[in-house]
Structure 1
Amino acid sequence: MRIAVEDLSVTLAGRTVVAGVHLVAEEGEIAGLVGPNGSGKSSLLRTVYRHLRPSAGRILLAGRELEGIPPAESARHVAALPQERGGDFELTVREVVAMGRTPYKRAFAADDAEDHRIVADALVRVGMAEAAGRRFAQLSGGERQRVLLARALAQQPDVLVLDEPTNHLDVRHQVELLALLREQRRTTLVALHDLNAAASVCDRLHVLHRGALVASGAPRDVLTADLLAEVFGVRAAVVEHPLTGDPLIAFDHRTPASSAGAPAGAPALDGAARAQTVS
């Protein structure tokens, strides 16, 4: 299912945090959002999973305006893993994951055999099947992250919206999660801080800076040394990954950001960089 963001703006407490953004994730594509802290990634994603309402613009889900789709119906199409993880649920892991089946059920309806199968499969996919009977509140941060991803998978959405899904995960589980996203081939919007992970897993990258979209395209085209200096304020070389052939960013950890080119708070890229943008 294709999802498109058209001329989207978001205002919080009187301040514009996303300004006139256009971006797209084609059906089955993983589209990554990258940018410095405070660039508007999370606010944009919150409008897609309807936690925030945009102040202007619209979101189209397979050509239908999201605002006009009933919430219960949109929940069958879009599942989210937000940064806000909620409180310590006094529920078991299995019960938390089963919450993903809510959009398909009448009020107070019990889980049926199909629900149980879907929940069990989701737990297997994230490597948490053996923890099904444990209390969610007793899990580590990384374990909770995987359970909440299983809940999103149990929702069987057409679109996944993931905000920093690798937070709290060790290296092995980061690799497994990113491989799972590639295997799923669901339309996915994902915000990632790890630019090398984004280069590896994403078909398309959208770069946000100060609430504006400054570049879009294939990772190889977007992640240039000039962009990294101007948007992120770092000195880096972009080379070919020796194992996968993906772009690999080698950061200079010895040079201060102030010496790397444009500082981290530099203005958005000019028209030449915007010319990289694709729809």
Structure 2
Amino acid sequence: MAMPSAGECAMSSAAILEVRDLVIRYRARGLFASRSRPAVNGASFTLAERETLGIVGESGSGKTSLLRAILRLIPVESGSVRLEGEDWLALKGDTLRRTRQRIGVVAQNPYLSLSPRLTIAEILAEPLLAHGEKAGPAMNRKIAGLLSDCGLPADFMGRRARELSGGQAQRVAIARALALEPKLMILDEPTSALDVSVQAQILNLLADLKESRGLSMLFVTHNLKVVAHLSDSLLVMRRGDIVEFGATEQVVREPRHDYTSELLSFGLIGARE
């Protein structure tokens, strides 16, 4: 099947993230174990500025490995990742730490990512303090602004994560990811642990933040309805391969691969996980 090129899917905007021929392979265990199949097999795509790319696939498709490699949590066997034109995989030391500030990360379960010991103000202050900002009235105003941008009042600053609902906790996690004003947001199943009604609220919040802050987003999900709601382009993975990549509307209306058609017929990929 002829796949669209990354350039064709990058719209007319400049690229913020470019992945080329990325191969991820986990080491086989055992002295006589044969070489394992790649978890990600030559992935290539481009994410344009101010665009959202949805990555979908069943469990074992490689989407989580791809995400972890982009975040530099696991090594890659070959290929390249460029962040705003820089060789992201080659950065080290202070340069890597500074460049990481351009990326905000939101995980699936907010309760696991928010410290139960700290107040919400302390949680949001952590990245700011690590960045060299000083505690005080100015920081408190910034924290209150982050909460407001994410739909929470300033009096939440004194609460702790265990006192929040799932949706409120995820709003705090999003606020923390925005603290250093990243250009790229990476979201790993950010709504799958929430009730359906709350999912819609979080998706609307992300859409608003994307517009107001000019964000690019990489959104990993098993839910095609989520992708259709938020993503500009769609990447479908199966057994480590990218089987479909294109504008979301085009992929949903005219899928090129039988596997994509099968997933669309289910509506929710997660029903099979």
> Which of residues 151, 173, 176 in structure 1 aligns to 2:201?
176
- 2:138 is the counterpart of 1:111: no
Provide the residue aligned with 1:260 in structure 2: none
**SS class of match (2:79):** strand
Q: In the TM superposition, what are the counterparts of 1:134-213 in structure 2 within 5 Å?
A: 134-183=159-208, 184=210, 185-213=214-242
**SS class of match (2:236):** strand
Q: Provide the rounded CA distance (Å) in 1 between the counterparts of 2:102 and 2:114.
A: 25
CA contact (8 A) 1:80 1:152 kept: yes
CA contact (8 A) 1:164 1:191 kept: yes
CA contact (8 A) 1:225 1:235 kept: no
> Which of residues 58, 62, 67 in structure 2 aligns to 1:45?
67
Q: Provide the rounded CA distance (Å) in 2 between the counterparts of 1:87 and 1:201.
A: 25
- 2:103 is the counterpart of 1:78: yes
When normalised by structure 1's length, the TM-score is: 0.75
Once the two structures are TM-superposed, the CA of residue 21 in structure 1 deviates from its matched residue by: 0.2
Q: Provide the rounded CA distance (Å) in 1 between the counterparts of 2:43 and 2:86.
A: 18
Cα deviation, 1:168-194, whole Å, max 9, x if unaligned, reads: 223343223222322223011011222
- 2:121 is the counterpart of 1:94: yes
1:65–1:114: structure 2 CA closer, same or farther, 3 Å change rule?
Answer: farther
Q: Provide the rounded CA distance (Å) in 2 between the counterparts of 1:181 and 1:80.
A: 13
The percentage of aligned residue pairs carrying the same residue is 31
Q: Which is worse superposed, 220-229 or 38-47?
A: 220-229
CA contact (8 A) 2:107 2:188 kept: yes
CA contact (8 A) 2:39 2:240 kept: yes
1:67–1:177: structure 2 CA closer, same or farther, 3 Å change rule?
Answer: same
- 2:45 is the counterpart of 1:23: yes
Question: How many residues were matched structurally?
Answer: 239
Q: Provide the rounded CA distance (Å) in 2 between the counterparts of 1:35 and 1:20.
A: 16
Cα deviation, 1:13-54, whole Å, max 9, x if unaligned, reads: 434211110011101111111111221112211222222222
Output the amino acid matched with 2:143. Answer: V
**SS class of match (1:196):** helix
Once the two structures are TM-superposed, the CA of residue 92 in structure 1 deviates from its matched residue by: 0.8
Relative contact order, CA 8 A, sep 6+: which one is greater?
2
CA contact (8 A) 2:232 2:247 kept: yes
Provide the residue aligned with 2:18 in structure 1: 4
> Which of residues 65, 84, 97 in structure 2 aligns to 1:62?
84
CA contact (8 A) 1:88 1:137 kept: no
Q: Which is worse superposed, 111-120 or 20-29?
A: 111-120
When normalised by structure 2's length, the TM-score is: 0.76
Bigger share in helix:
2
CA contact (8 A) 1:225 1:236 kept: no
Structure 2: runs of 5 or more not aligned: 1-14, 29-35
Structure 1: runs of 5 or more not aligned: 238-248, 252-256, 258-263, 266-279
CA-atom RMSD, angstroms?
2.8
Cα deviation, 1:106-155, whole Å, max 9, x if unaligned, reads: xxx63254433332122122233342211224434433222111110112
Once the two structures are TM-superposed, the CA of residue 232 in structure 1 deviates from its matched residue by: 7.4
**SS class of match (1:51):** coil
**SS class of match (2:25):** strand
1:98–1:198: structure 2 CA closer, same or farther, 3 Å change rule?
Answer: same
